[in-house]
Structure 1
Amino acid sequence: MKIVLATQFEEMARAKVVSGLYSSASQVIHNAPRTMHEHHQVQIAKLAELRQDIQDGLDSGPAVDWNPDEIKLSGRAMRAAKVENGA
């Protein structure tokens, strides 16, 4: 099989050989499909995790209204209590 690479990929393959990661450009090209497959598997796993996180959020119940001012006041009160207790 003959493969023609764009100039940028030829340069990348040469750089990998020069760096010592590979002993030849053929090794770089031989490794590319495996690397691409591994990258694709990671993308699939991340997408599955994202979908699960979305489902978990949907399953957690209806959204609840909240008031940011009340949350700030509550946080400030907790911080003041810690300061008073020497924490």
Structure 2
Amino acid sequence: MQIKKQLVLREIAGDYALIPIGDTIIENNGLFSLTETAARIWELLPQAAGPEELVDTLLEEYEVDRPTLEADVTAFLAQLGELGIL
């Protein structure tokens, strides 16, 4: 999946954040806080063909049912879309 903005994922004292770099600093005032699962989705995004592939990979890593995970992935991707990140 195509990430449109320059953001770097960092773990800071057990918390995850997307930190803007380059031109993205001007567009975004601050960083984006992520849950552990959202951080994992972010790591998988560049290689994922689409949401279904993200769900399939995450199902192997987390103990969660498919409908819940599909809803969570869809919601996270929608938020990234609203922010112009995807």
Fold shared, TM-score > 0.5 on shorter chain: no
For normalisation by structure 1, the TM-score amounts to: 0.30
For normalisation by structure 2, the TM-score amounts to: 0.30
Higher-RCO chain (CA-CA 8 Å, sequence separation at least 6): 2
Q: Which has the higher strand share?
A: 2
Instruction: Find the structure with the greater CA-based Rg.
Output: 1
